[in-house]
Amino acid sequence: MPLNIRHPQENTVTTFQLKLTASLLTTLALGACGGGGGNINPAVNVGPPLVVYANGVSSFDSLALAAAFAHLPIEALNGAEKDSLIFMREEEKLAYDVCAQLDILWGANNKVFENIANSEATHAEAVRQLLLRYGVGDTAATWTTGLFQNTVLHGLYTQFAANGAKSVIDALKVSAEIEEIDIFAIKEALLGIDNQDIVMVYQNLLKGSRNHLRLFVNNLLLQGVTFVPQHMDAVDYAAIISTPIER
């Protein structure tokens, strides 16, 4: 998708930035343990990069992601891959920004928004680590909530934040719709990417989005509401919803 606008940088330190900073500091602190000079030992098995909890919340583990990267080469980056990383960083920020806003409105009644917001912060950080590996500028590094260089994502945030403010059911529907968009965007991106580290992160993002879609749909069912997919093919949607959480 085209990147047509730039927003002025904000001096305000946002919750989003704090969560990403905390994730990076965790990576550095854990890497420094054990007298290894801060380097990850590829021979040490620290588990999968994506941790899936019993409720379906799926978050990246910073140490495991660093260990996975240590096994994979940094390959040539073409224009499509670079554009994809820039877009995906902002797309994951969209998911975080919306859920964080919905948590402010509805979090007292349902912790799912806080849980997913925290998870999406790790998703955005995983993409940021790819940007760092490839020396690509981070367009989302200093912007406050709801500001995006990509005009489509900027419009989606405005739409989703307004719709999600109507009721907790609308908030859950909006959140499920975002996961649909995530799934579509990641699957499309994977068609033009062959770098092993990017593919690894994107496949885990895809798994996380499928799990989060299941979680939001199940929360709607608890409210007596059946979610109708807005972007996905009915067959593809049913294939996800009818299967258990992916570990």
pLDDT (tens digit, 9 = 90+) per residue, 121-151? 999 999 999 999 999 999 888 778 999 999 9
Is the pTM higher than 0.85?
A: no
- Residue ranges per domain, the chain? 15-241
Q: 52: closest CA among 122, 100, 107? A: 122
User: Do 57 and 215 contact (CB within 8 A), yes or no?
Assistant: yes
Fold of 15-241: Ferritin (1.20.1260)
Percent of the chain with pLDDT over 90: 79
Give yes or no for a contact between 228 and 123, defined as CB atoms under 8 angstroms apart: no
53-83 burial by CB neighbour count: b if 16+ within 10 A, else e? eeebbbbbbbbbbbbbbeebeeeebeeebeb
Contact present, 160 and 177 (Cβ < 8 Å): yes
In the Cβ-directed half-sphere of 180, how many Cα atoms lie within 13 Å?
A: 20
**Per-residue pLDDT for 4 more than 80?**
no
Q: Where are the alpha helices (DSSP H) in the chain?
A: 15-32, 62-70, 79-106, 112-134, 151-164, 168-190, 196-222, 234-241
Quote the pLDDT of residue 144.
Answer: 83
